[in-house]
Amino acid sequence: MTTPILLDGAATAKTIRAEVAAAAKALTAQTGIVPVLAAILAGNDPASQTYVAMKERACARAGIGSRTYPFAPDASEAEVTDCLAMLNADPSVHGILVQHPLPKHIDEPAVLSLMDPAKDVDGIAPISLGRLVAGLPAFQSCTPAGMIELMRRYQLPIAGKHAVVVGRSVILGKPLALLLLQENATVTICHSRTPNLAEITKQADILCACVGKAEMITRDMIKPGAVVLDAGYNRVPGKTHDVGDVDYAAACEVASAITPVPGGVGPMTIAMLLRNTLTAAQSASARTASALLSSPLSHEVGEGSVHSTGGGGDLL
């Protein structure tokens, strides 16, 4: 078998971040609008704190404003939902991220169901997921969208392929399966109750590992020539960096294309979050412009003073 194509998520994400930065700069120049992403960070989960700090740095580099609303681990659900309502109503905020996981005493789906879908740039609120099921426009969950985008940028065909997704979480496995279906793959979803997992993964043209178990996908579970996408991030004692769900070295002997960990799927998540925030700001700007044009005062405002963004248009 030849060496597989390395699906370089770090380089691809860098390209996307540069594209977002250029478009954000153009939007600000044309309309004065600076896209803004707000994050609600409740509790003291170290991984969440790291992710939100990374997101703040990435926003700053892309010309996107970021605000973080921290809450103590014992914050009440009402405190969090009050903050979400304030952000929903604030026209200067275009995207909202409710960092997962919320503290256990807070009903996360109930909180997310209050999110304005036009600001759900993380794509995990129930209404966004429902719209995805219905085939309607909605923001797509960032990690699954990043996995699809990575394949698109490497021109790897999806239509007609058999995609096997191992894992069915609401933030990852399920939306990924739906996105693959939308791309006309034939999709099989596996989970912890799937018997004979290897028999199914061995049939995959596109194998997506979304489990959270270090190196559980071994060489014998992969069809020769398969595209292997590994979303897993696992701390392993004694290793200096996180490892994926796939035994990478062994998988490289059979796969035709593969994501490394780190540097594969991971960096794509923030890139998609930035892109969704830009789209939300472009859509908000387009809505404001069309409201101005249709208002009775519009002829007094004059066409020249209302700028089109040429951007994302109305998402919802």
Q: Which residues are catalytic?
A: 55, 99, 122
Closer to ligand NAP at the Cβ: 63 or 173? Answer: 173
Q: Judged by CB under 6 A, which of 140, 201, 259, 269 binds ligand NAP?
A: 269
Q: Which of residues 162-191 bind ligand NAP (CB under 6 A)?
A: 166-169, 171-173, 190-191
Site stretch for ligand NAP (CB under 6 A), options 15-23, 87-95, 101-109, 262-270: 262-270
Residue 147 CB, shortest distance to ligand NAP, in Å, is: 9
Residue 276 CB, shortest distance to ligand NAP, in Å, is: 14
Residue 123 CB, shortest distance to ligand NAP, in Å, is: 12
Residue 63 CB, shortest distance to ligand NAP, in Å, is: 22
Q: Which of residues 181-240 bind ligand NAP (CB under 6 A)?
A: 190-194, 197, 210-213, 231-234
The answer to whether 142 and 273 have CB atoms below 8 angstroms apart is yes
Closer to ligand NAP at the Cβ: 105 or 235? Answer: 235
Closer to ligand NAP at the Cβ: 123 or 232? Answer: 232
Question: Which residues of the chain form contacts with ligand NAP (CB under 6 A)?
Answer: 143, 166-169, 171-173, 190-194, 197, 210-213, 231-234, 265-266, 269
